[in-house]
Amino acid sequence: MIKIVLVTKKEDLAYYLKNCLEENYSFFIAKDIEALKETSQENNPDIIFFHVENETEKDQLLTLLSNQETTQVAVISPITDSSFIVFCMENGAIDFINNPETDRIKETIKKALKKKLYNTKIIANSLTEKIIGTSDAITRLKEYLPMLAQVTETVLISGESGTGKELVARTIHKISPRKEFPFVAVNCGALPASIIESEMFGTEAGAYTDAKNRPGFFEQANGGTLFLDEIGELPLDLQVKFLRVLEEKQISRLGGHRVIPIDIRIICATNKNLKEEVKNRNFREDLYYRINILKVDLPPLRNRKEDIVLLTLFFLKEMEKEYGKIEINEKAIERLNAHDWPGNIRELKNIVSRAVIDSKMKGRKIILPDSIIFD
């Protein structure tokens, strides 16, 4: 559904524009910039039509145009002064409309959607560049992530420990319409069973001794993305409550009765075979199918060894500020390629860091094979 906001105080213009649009549009009206902020946060519009009655609204328009990354802004105005029209277009307006006839409005919408899609791809490409590699698996992943980012269904990221599951989750969030809202990462396996429910759902004063009114992870992520790492470690009794949250999109704090609506994107990750966990009755089947709507499988580093050189060079570049420029020779690369990498990218980063420090201690500006030290 294409979401359109019209900023105007004129009810007749709002009524006319609404009638111009077909059923596959969601149409919202904001009376001013402040109302637009609230509407945009709630609805994330694709296009904003800004009605400018006189040039005194120039500053508001400029602020609006400068704050849009992908949402397109079209100006509707009776002003015919060419310098004002040029001002609007030079500062990023997708169109300037004197006579908002139906065909013109629809043509502007088509143009705006094409431009938004282009801008979204540019932003997505710049962010997915942080996912290092040119192997087939990584190339396919980079192509897939922008599509994942634009929908709201739950994502399940599978992969061995150290393959970059959280990086992928953060990338999805950063190129999604929720990017201005929080990204909250939770390691389900690191939370003690005694506190995991209160951490997830929050508490009301009096729930237990010293309990205070405190939001949990679900509330903290409201509007944004909740990343549940190692979802397979979630206790069975909490899996039931988690499933209910996914279905009902609301929570109640521990010790409270107030129902709190939530609007979040859920991304889960696991290094376990959840199908096997379901068979072994360690993971609920209904929850498995609920979170396994969109799936990302991250390959282990041993299956994408062609990426080892690029990853190594990336880590060396990261360390330049602290240790200065250091290179790595071909024999050292061969040693890295021969390793099986049970710890995946995380292990590679540690090995490269160790090699840099060892080389510096030996007075070298190049990493030799004897500085590649495995545990």
In tens, the pLDDT along 223-274 reads: 999 999 999 999 998 999 999 999 999 998 888 788 999 999 999 999 999 9
Residue 90: CATH number of its domain: 3.40.50.2300
Kindly give the residue spans of alpha helices, DSSP state H, lying in 319-373: 320-323, 330-338, 344-361
Span between the terminal Cα atoms of the chain, in Å: 54
Q: How much is the average pLDDT of 329-342?
A: 94
CA-CA distance, 305 to 195, in Å (whole number)? 41
Q: Are residues 255 and 163 in the same domain?
A: yes
Residue that the structure tokens 């120039």 belong to: 58
pLDDT of 69 reads: 63
Statement: residue 275 has pLDDT above 90: yes
CA-CA distance, 313 to 332, in Å (whole number)? 12
Are 225 and 169 within 8 A, CB to CB? yes
Q: Are residues 214 and 246 in the same domain?
A: yes
Of 123, 148, 177, at which residue does a domain stop?
Answer: 123
Write the CB contacts of 186 (distance below 8 Å, at least 6 apart in sequence): 199, 200, 217, 226, 227, 228, 229
pLDDT of 171 reads: 92
Statement: residue 200 has pLDDT above 80: yes
- Please name which of 104, 103, 160 lies closest in space to residue 345, comparing C-alpha atoms: 160
Q: Are residues 140 and 282 in the same domain?
A: yes
Q: How much is the average pLDDT of 265-288?
A: 95
Q: Are residues 288 and 306 in the same domain?
A: no
Of 241, 266, 299, at which residue does a domain stop?
Answer: 299
Phi, psi of 55 (to 5 degrees): -70, -5
Structure tokens at 211: 């309990």
pLDDT of 104 reads: 84
pLDDT band at 344 (very low <50, low <70, confident <90, very high): very high
Kindly give the residue spans of alpha helices, DSSP state H, lying in the chain: 11-20, 33-43, 58-66, 82-90, 102-128, 136-149, 165-174, 196-201, 217-220, 236-248, 274-279, 285-291, 308-318, 320-323, 330-338, 344-361
Structure tokens at 282: 């360690």
Q: Considering the entire predicted model, what is its pTM?
A: 0.70
pLDDT band at 129 (very low <50, low <70, confident <90, very high): low
Strands 47-51 and 2-7: parallel
**Any idea which of 6-15, 59-68, 258-267 has the lowest mean pLDDT?**
59-68
Strand partners of residue 185: 227
Q: Are residues 150 and 218 in the same domain?
A: yes
Q: Are residues 145 and 96 in the same domain?
A: no
Vertex 155: Cα angle to 154 and 159 (nearest 5): 150
Statement: residue 118 has pLDDT above 80: no
Q: How much is the average pLDDT of 5-25?
A: 78
Mean pLDDT of the chain: 86
CA-CA distance, 33 to 61, in Å (whole number)? 9
pLDDT of 20 reads: 74
Q: Are residues 245 and 151 in the same domain?
A: yes
Residue 364: CATH number of its domain: 1.10.8.60
Q: How much is the average pLDDT of 27-51?
A: 80
Residue 283: CATH number of its domain: 3.40.50.300
Of 263, 281, 299, at which residue does a domain stop?
Answer: 299
Number of domains the chain contains: 3
pLDDT of 23 reads: 63
Q: Which has more confidence, 352 or 48?
A: 352
Statement: residue 121 has pLDDT above 60: no
CA-CA distance, 368 to 375, in Å (whole number)? 17
Statement: residue 281 has pLDDT above 90: yes
Q: Which of 3-7, 103-107, 179-183 has the highest mean pLDDT?
A: 179-183
Phi, psi of 27 (to 5 degrees): -115, 130
Share of the chain above pLDDT 70, in %: 92
Q: Are residues 163 and 283 in the same domain?
A: yes
| Domain around 347 | 302-371
Q: Are residues 163 and 286 in the same domain?
A: yes
Q: Are residues 209 and 113 in the same domain?
A: no
Write the CB contacts of 340 (distance below 8 Å, at least 6 apart in sequence): 302
pLDDT of 109 reads: 84
Statement: residue 160 has pLDDT above 90: yes
CA-CA distance, 105 to 120, in Å (whole number)? 22
Q: Are residues 294 and 309 in the same domain?
A: no
Q: Are residues 165 and 283 in the same domain?
A: yes
pLDDT band at 128 (very low <50, low <70, confident <90, very high): low
Q: 168-189, pLDDT tens digit by residue? A: 999 999 888 888 889 999 999 8
